[in-house]
Chains A and B, each alone.
Chain A
Amino acid sequence: KQEVTQIPAALSVPEGENLVLNCSFTDSAIYNLQWFRQDPGKGLTSLLLIQSSQREQTSGRLNASLDKSSGRSTLYIAASQPGDSATYLCAVMDSNYQLIWGAGTKLIIKP
């Protein structure tokens, strides 16, 4: 059974730092991996989607990588800003086309 883990559960860093969020999954048979952002009282917003054949995707200051063989993905955030404070979730689409979700990493960027 596919399981998705995000460690740490919470992270606090000073503004301006580059940071990496981690996502690991147990079964490499995935179609894609997606990163989402969740703000309090709001829904989830899709950030990046990496197909299983791809190694990375970039959007602005965000870069997501995928290593299927090791069951890992990272979300790199460059030059962090207070507005980046949110919970970041990753999800993998498994062989049944179902999305399996991690519990998220709560990120706090200190001004």
Chain B
Amino acid sequence: NAGVTQTPKFRILKIGQSMTLQCTQDMNHNYMYWYRQDPGMGLKLIYYSVGAGITDKGEVPNGYNVSRSTTEDFPLRLELAAPSQTSVYFCASSSPGQGATNEKLFFGSGTQLSVL
């Protein structure tokens, strides 16, 4: 029962560096999400996807990019890391999708990212 798997668990970046946070799920969920969680704050939606080939911006998309080439994978790309992107990042998936009001979200264990 792997569920939602995120890698890496921890990462330190220098300002201006790039990296990709990996997320994969084995539950055949159509919908996938990327959230960030800052200390003392609620989760903020960065991007989401309703299926392979379809992505859309969430509340805080600036500085990030995503792709969804397969149902299983939903990587998050940081192109020019900035200190404001220091946060904990969570990937999540659900089925049948955000339009249904009885869905449950399944979360990965998170990636703690520091940009120095």
Contact = CB atoms under 8 A, between A and B. Distances in A.
Interface stretch (A11-19, A41-49, A58-66, A74-82): A41-49
B102 A103 contact: no
Interface residues of B, number: 24
Interface in A17-68: 31-32, 34, 36, 41-46, 49, 51-52
Contacts of B41: 103
B104 interface: yes
Contacts of A103: 40-42
Interface residues on A, range: 20 to 34
Interface in B81-96: 90, 92
Contact of A32 (B6, B92, B102, B108): B102
B34 interface: no
Label chain B's interface by main secondary structure: loop
Contact of A46 (B9, B40, B59, B104): B104
B43 interface: yes
B110 A43 contact: yes
Contacts of A93: 101
Contact of A100 (B40, B42, B102): B42
16 contacts: A32-B101, A34-B104, A41-B109, A43-B109, A43-B110, A44-B105, A44-B107, A51-B101, A89-B43, A97-B98, A97-B99, A98-B45, A98-B59, A101-B42, A101-B44, A102-B42
User: Considering the complex of A and B, which 6 residue pairs feature the smallest CB-CB distances, nearest first?
Assistant: A101-B42, A43-B107, A31-B101, A101-B43, A44-B107, A46-B104
